[in-house]
Structures are given as C-alpha cells and as structure tokens.
Amino acid sequence: MSGFLQTTIGKIITIVAVLAVGNSVYQSFFSDKARMLKELQAMIDQKEKQIEMLSQQYEDITKREKMSLQKIAELKNKLTGVQELINEGEGNLDEIKESIPNIDSDIDFLANFTRGTLDSLDSGRGVLGQLGGGPGN
C-alpha cells in the first residue's frame, strides 16, 4: 500500500504544482492586462482633458477673432467715409480728423492683429499646432 500511496501522493503533488504554475501564469497574464487597461484609461482621461482645454482655447480664439474682424469692419467703414469726404472734396481737415479720432490706436490694433495672426500661422503654436496640424506637421 505504501507504493500506491506514494504514487498517488506524487501524482497529487504534481497536479497541485501544475495548477499552481498555471494559476501563476493566469494571474500574471491578467494582472498585466489589467495594468495595461488602467494605463490606457489614464491616457484616455488625459487626452480628454487636453481636448477639453483645447476646445475652450479654440472657442476663446474664435470669439476674439470675431471681435477683431468686427473691429476691422468698423475701421474699414470709417476709412471708407474718410475716403468719400476726400474724394468729394466736401470735408475739411477738421471733419476728417473727427471721423477717425483714434487712428493711432486703430493702426496699432491692426498691426497687432496682423502680427498675431501671422506669428501663430508661421509657428504652428495655435490650436491646430497643439493638435498636430498646421504648417510643418
């Protein structure tokens, strides 16, 4: 009986060892997958936050752009009025000055607007540049 008992115990020990190794491999495989899933979820969360931030920046830029374009349209109308006064020869110098009282600040605005637009396009630092678009990307 001792031979049978030893053989049975040996088989049981072998089966337990194989199951332990199998369980270890199984746990290792799925714990790696779980870790990878957590890392991927963290990356997704980070990208979603970045998208949200960039969307807000885009909205802000669009709002400023609309306001700038509106101001440019107003300046164009002022200059058209001045041009009409000059062409008609009806306006004197004082009338022309009154029609464009803040010409220096208007010119500065146009210069800054143009410079800012060209700088962001050239460098790709705008929203498109951050998203991977724009010149050179």
Q: How far apart are CA 24 and CA 18, in angstroms?
A: 10
Residue that the structure tokens 């049978």 belong to: 4
Position 93: which residue type? Answer: L
Domain ranges of the chain: 17-131
Q: List pLDDT tens digits, range 16-67.
A: 888 888 888 877 777 778 888 899 999 999 999 999 999 999 999 889 888 8
Torsion sign, CA atoms 84, 86, 92, 93: positive
pLDDT at 135 over 70: no
Model confidence, pTM: 0.49
